[in-house]
Structure formats: structure tokens, C-alpha cells
Amino acid sequence: MEVRKIHDKEFELFIPNARINVAISDMAASISRDLEGKDVIFMGILNGAFMFAAELIKQITPNCQITFLKLASYAGTSSTGTVKRLIGINEDIKNKTVVILEDIVDTGITLESIIKQLNGYEPVEIRVATLLHKPDAYLKDIPLDYVGFEIPNDFVVGYGLDYEGFGRNLADIYKVVDP
């Protein structure tokens, strides 16, 4: 068993790179088929989605745009905790089909906040593509249009996902051992 130590935790190999690539290719084929003829802009959410977005977008066949957004914490807080403001929307997304590219949808709180903010720019529709999803942790009813892998409620790193800033560079996905 391949184990890696990051800070105080040990992680074991969970999804090897070859399986990730197959899932992303399948997803790219579905998205390309579904969005043919639409005016599409992909929005990768930094930092975690950079690797997924790069691999996916080069396999998208219709003409499209791609940009990256980042969530920055507001100075203030709301009753639900820290509210994160979406920064980096320079493109005109009015009347376009937006495809959000996420590394992982866990509780869905982040995704809900992103969609609320993007709706203010009047896109014609918003779709969601995520490499990973933890259905057991999901608290929202926003449909996830494209999901690479449904995974158990374990903490994972690699392929863009980090543990306290480390692990994003790993080509495979690892899950925590004995959390």
C-alpha cells in the first residue's frame, strides 16, 4: 500500500491517475455533446480545480471560453460563518451557459454561494462539473450535472486538493488513514 505523510497525517492511495483520466475523458465527452451549439464559459474555482480544469478543458471540442475564479473571505461574517466573495469575474457572462468546475463538492455550502453570486450576472444557465462528490456530506439540493467520482465522507488530497496547503501536486488521489 502506497502511503504518504503530509504534516501529521498519513494518506493512502485511493484513486490512481489512470482512473482519474478516464473519468475526466468521459465527462469531457458528455459535456461536449450536451453543450454543442451553446455559448459556453467554463469557470474553474481556484485553487483546487486547476488540475481538473486543465485536463478537462483540453478535451472539450466545441468552441468555448475558460476563466478562473477565486473565493476570498469577506471581512465580516454572517450567521452561517464566514461568507466568501467570488473574485475574478472579468468576462461578460450575461446570456451564456456557465459551467462551474470544482475539485470537490462536500457539504455544497461553497457551491451554493458561488451559484448565488454568479446568478447576479444573468447567465442563461449554470451547470456544475465536479471531479469528486461526497454524497453523505451533501446538505443542498442543487443538482450536480457532471460528477467524476462519488466518494465516502473521508478527507482526500492530491490532483489539486490540499491538506493545509500541501498535496495539490500529487497526480493520484489519496485518502486519510485513521483520521
Binder of ligand IMP out of 24, 51, 86, 106 (CB under 6 A): 106
Range in contact with ligand IMP (rule: CB under 6 A) among 30-38, 50-58, 102-110, 116-124: 102-110
Asked if 118 contacts 142 with a C-beta cutoff of 8 angstroms, the reply is no
For ligand IMP, give the closer residue by CB, 47 or 59.
Answer: 47
C-alpha grid cell for residue 37? 451549439
Instruction: Determine if the peptide bond prior to 47 is cis (ω within 30°).
Output: yes
107 binds ligand IMP (CB under 6 A): yes
Q: Which is nearer to ligand IMP, 35 or 151 (CB)?
A: 151
How many chain residues are in contact with ligand IMP, going by CB under 6 A?
A: 13
CA distance 109 to 157: 20
- Using alpha carbons only, give the angle 58, 20, 137 rounded to the nearest 5 degrees: 115
Q: Which residue, 18 or 139, has its beta carbon nearer to ligand IMP? A: 139
Q: Please identify, using beta-carbon distances, which residue of 50 and 155 lies nearer to ligand IMP.
A: 155
Task: Tell the smallest beta-carbon distance from residue 107 to ligand IMP (Å).
Answer: 3
Does 156 interact with ligand IMP (rule: CB under 6 A)?
yes
Q: First vs last Cα of the chain: how many Å apart?
A: 17
Measured distance CA(57)–CA(150) in Å, rounded: 21
Site for ligand IMP in 40-99 (CB under 6 A): 48
Q: Could you tell me if 107 and 139 are in contact, meaning their C-beta atoms sit under 8 angstroms apart?
A: yes
Q: What residues are labeled active site?
A: 106
166: helix, strand or coil:
strand
Binding site for ligand IMP (CB under 6 A): 48, 104-111, 155-157, 161
